[in-house]
Amino acid sequence: ETGVTQTPRHLVMGMTNKKSLKCEQHLGHNAMYWYKQSAKKPLELMFVYSLEERVENNSVPSRFSPECPNSSHLFLHLHTLQPEDSALYLCASSPQRQSNQPQHFGDGTRLSIL
Amino acid sequence: GDSVTQMEGPVTLSEEAFLTINCTYTATGYPSLFWYVQYPGEGLQLLLKATKADDKGSNKGFEATYRKETTSFHLEKGSVQVSDSAVYFCALSDYNQGGKLIFGQGTELSVKP
């Protein structure tokens, strides 16, 4: 039990589909993160939310649209994705954004773009 | 900017062998240091951490000591098991950089029976 739950675990979609990834944390944390993990590449931080406000967007294409309706839930809305977007998408949370506390990760959503 | 460098994998060991995975870092401030582990098909799990110089983090037989003088945080285990096969990530978090986690590229460990 990681305390951070991601759904779905696997997603296959065409380039014209619209889908959403969901992340929920049960740890009472105030900061949440989206990462992209591609084969043979370091983890890429995509978005950071602190108290439901987006505080960082690392030059992510607009076909990825995050949403944080409350401090426990984080979504990543996907639209018109490209084959190179196939990857493992990881959600994480931490007590506060600006702290040296560790982040807690979910098990990820394995996304495949046809 | 801050960065983390890990030894390249894959590392292949026999069961009960001694493990060392090297990690060095560069940081402008006084970061906290972490080792995360990723088992096949799963997300990252915190393995151990150290928040200041000379701290030793330990968990599940793994250890790492925060060495400020050599800017290192090498991961060690005296006797690995097949179940330790995973990818290991060294990471730092620097308050001066907004607490962002900076990861190394990961080191794949494969332990053979």
Q: Mind listing the pLDDT tens digit for each residue in A62-97?
A: 999 999 999 999 999 999 999 999 999 999 999 988
Pairing verdict, β A53-57 and A64-70? unpaired
- Specify the pLDDT at position A92: 95
How far is CA B68 from each of CA B72, B102, B105, rounded to the nearest angstrom?
7, 17, 21
Query: Taking all residues of chain A, what is their mean pLDDT, rounded to a whole number?
Result: 91
| Run means of pLDDT, 10 residues per run, chain B, 113 residues | 90 97 92 95 94 95 97 97 97 80 94 96
Work out the pLDDT band at A55, boundaries 50, 70, 90.
confident
DSSP B10-43: -EEEETT--EEE-EEEE-SS--EEEEEEE-TTS-
- Specify the pLDDT at position A80: 92
- Specify the pLDDT at position B30: 84
Q: A83-100: b or e for each residue (b if 16 or more CB lie within 10 Å)?
A: eebbbbbbbbbbeebbeb
| CA geometry: angle B36, A44, B62, nearest 5 deg | 10
Q: Is A67 on the interface with B (CB under 8 A)?
A: no
Q: Mind listing the pLDDT tens digit for each residue in B76-93?
A: 999 999 999 999 999 999
List, as ranges, residues 15-74 from B with C-beta within 8 Å of A.
31-32, 34, 36, 41-46, 49, 51
Q: Mind listing the pLDDT tens digit for each residue in A1-35?
A: 559 999 999 999 988 889 999 999 999 999 999 99
Nearest by CB to residue A2, choosing from B43, B98, B106, is B43
Q: Is A36 on the interface with B (CB under 8 A)?
A: no
- Specify the pLDDT at position A2: 59
Q: In the block, which residue shows the tokens 């959503």?
A: A109
Number of Cβ atoms within 10 Å of the Cβ of B41: 11
